[in-house]
Amino acid sequence: MLNYFTPLDVATYAYCPILFKNKKFYNIEPKLTLTERTIKETIINGEGNACLKDSVVDNRKLMRVWEKIWWPRAAKENISILEAETISIKAIRKLSDYCKYEITDWLFPTAGVEVESSIKINNLILKAKANIVKVDLESKKINKVLITIGKRDLSISEAAIDPFIKALVYSFR
């Protein structure tokens, strides 16, 4: 029988085996708020639309996706119009910031969204999922860019040795 594990399992176990045993993953991957989940979904859907249309994401496209997702969700959660507008303005600023990164231009086309990968390691399978996979066309070698959207607070040096990131990258190698 083959068992599988995820990068979150690896990171949780590396942090504390007892947390892993008790399935306390929130210590490693904090839960997203409603607004954060909607921003994440907006970026993923926007990148997916860009991939299907052989295009890139921009502010206008992300705002359209945001509007389609946010307002029904805000109504369902009984958020007042005034509060929903305030949240929407802040979220659109964040989406605009995302569009400023070089990974959103023509030299980094989207190869896929919600891409899963797995690799067999002895009698176990490492299963991972990247929210967005992009290809770096500037690099002379084939180069994938894996994007996972969350709210882990890592410095550059912490990211370099992070077990979650290492397991994710290893599963896509």
Per-residue DSSP letter, 55 = -
DSSP character string of 123-169: TEEEEEEEEEEEE-SSSSS--EEEE--------HHHHHH-HHHHHHH
Say how far residue 144 (Cα) sits from the centre of its chain: 15
Condensed to tens digits (0 to 9), the pLDDT of residues 23-34 reads 777 667 888 999
Do 35 and 67 form a contact (C-beta atoms < 8 A)? Answer: no
Long-range contacts of 21-30 (CB under 8 A, 24+ apart): 28/152, 28/164, 29/150, 29/152, 29/164, 30/150, 30/151, 30/152
pLDDT exceeds cutoff 50 at 1: no
pLDDT over 90 for what percent of the chain?
65
SS3 103: helix
Tens digits of residue pLDDT in 104-161: 989 999 999 999 999 998 888 999 999 999 999 988 888 889 999 998 888 999 999 9
* Contacts of 161-165 spanning 24+ positions with Cβ under 8 A: 162/11, 163/7, 163/10, 163/11, 163/13, 163/14, 163/15, 164/7, 164/8, 164/10, 164/11, 164/28, 164/29, 165/7
The reply to whether the predicted model has a pTM over 0.85 is yes
Whether 125 contacts 118, CB under 8 Å? yes
The single-letter code of the amino acid at 103 is I
What angle, 0 to 180 degrees and rounded to 10, lies between the N-to-C axes of helices 59-76 and 81-99? Answer: 150
